[in-house]
Amino acid sequence: MTKKIYFLLAFVFYFIQANATTWREPWQKEIIEKSDCLVYGRVLTVSDTLVTVSIQKSFIKPLTGVIKIDAFFMLELCSYSGGHGPEFDIKQGEEGYFFLKKGENGNYQLPTPTSGFHPIVDGKVYATYRHSYHQAAIEVSVYEMTYSTIWKHYRTGKSDITEVKKFIQEYLSKPVASFEDDEIDVFFNQHAALESAYLLEIPIDFTILKKFSESSNYHSQISAIRAIGVLDSKEAKDYLIEFITSDNENNFAKVMGIWSIVNRGDKKYLKELIKKKDIISDGETGFGGNIMDPRVCTSIPSPKQAVGNIKL
């Protein structure tokens, strides 16, 4: 990239941030942890500042009737436009699953305008397991089976993972799927399986996860590295170090591996990462997407920056 083009992109990014409302989008795990309610509902009315929803089903915590959603509980603004503030990105008549928190006024809140609502489109749930930038279109039955288990796990600390483990085993035993029309449904289910294993901290056989982390599928690599981070074994940790310091160009997956080691707090491997910092990629990474997207300031550090942020 020439300096001229780089300067132009930097200027465009600055102009967007200075003249629009933008925010940092939270990860789905944070949303699950901080939400009070998971419900299925139908949208009755929508305005820029208020959504009314008829609750059809509630998971664990009972919630019935018609509720009002009028705010956002995880909204971290990067820039604000007085003429175009944060608005609801929901349409009247839509149905789907809502992650909500009750506000002090008795109404409910979504995490951000672009997260916390998983709509049903053409019979499938547009579901987020990792981040709203990375959604999967899956069957309602799969969504409810995985998310009812995930939700109970985070609310009560325990849940029956039998059905989720069967689902994981079924789809991870298949070859790594691509984005082609005849494989995309399998890919979405493999994504849901790997990310569910991460969210539920279900240990998957290391050789199976390697099949995905060493595939050519960018998103499967990311999910596999996150799932490998769940494994508390020398083999898994050594592999993460090897992956992070390799020539693999998937810097997003490398950052996921670094964060996994950081979250485990194993000083031996943290020190090894710091020692090898100079050979770790400093290449830019991120979610990609449209530069006009209001989530545009959601950032991911380079692998080297992620290591530089480690505090022993």
In a structure prediction context, what are the per-residue pLDDT tens digits for the chain, which is 312 residues long? 444 433 333 333 343 444 589 999 999 999 999 999 999 999 999 998 999 999 999 999 899 999 999 999 999 999 987 666 789 989 999 999 999 999 999 999 999 999 999 999 999 999 999 999 999 999 999 999 999 999 999 999 989 999 999 999 999 999 999 999 999 999 999 999 999 999 999 999 999 999 999 999 999 999 999 999 999 999 999 999 999 999 999 999 999 999 999 999 999 999 999 999 999 999 999 998 788 899 999 999 999 999 999 998
Place of tokens 């971290």: 76
pLDDT at residue number 284: 93
Q: What pLDDT does 20 receive?
A: 87
Query: In a 10 Å sphere around its CB, with 0-12 CB exposed, 13-18 middle and 19+ buried, how is residue 48 labelled?
Result: exposed
Please give the pLDDT value at position 12.
37
Partnered with residue 182 across adjacent β-strands are none
pLDDT at 10: 34
The pLDDT, as a whole number, for residue 84 is 67
Which secondary-structure segment (H or E) carries 136?
strand 134-139
Q: Provide the pLDDT for residue 59.
A: 97
Residue 190's beta-bridge partner residues?
Answer: none
Q: Would you say 75 and 89 are in contact if contact means Cβ atoms under 8 Å apart?
A: no
- Return the pLDDT at 19: 52
Q: Which CA distances in Å does 12 have to 23, 127, 291, 295? A: 16, 31, 9, 15
Max alpha carbon distance in the chain (Å)? 58
* Contact between residue 125 and residue 119 where contact means Cβ atoms under 8 Å apart: yes
State the virtual CA torsion across 265, 249, 169, 133 in degrees, nearest 10. 80
CA-to-CA dists, residue 221 to 142, 163, 238, angstroms: 22, 24, 17
Q: What is the pTM of this model?
A: 0.92
Q: 130 CB contacts (<8 Å, ≥6 apart)?
A: 27, 28, 191, 195, 222, 223, 226
- Alpha-carbon distance of 96 to 170, in angstroms, equals 26
Contact 261, 240 (CB under 8 A): yes
CB atoms within 10 A of CB 249: 12
Bridge partner list, 119 = 96
Angle at 171 between CA 249 and CA 243, to 5 degrees: 25
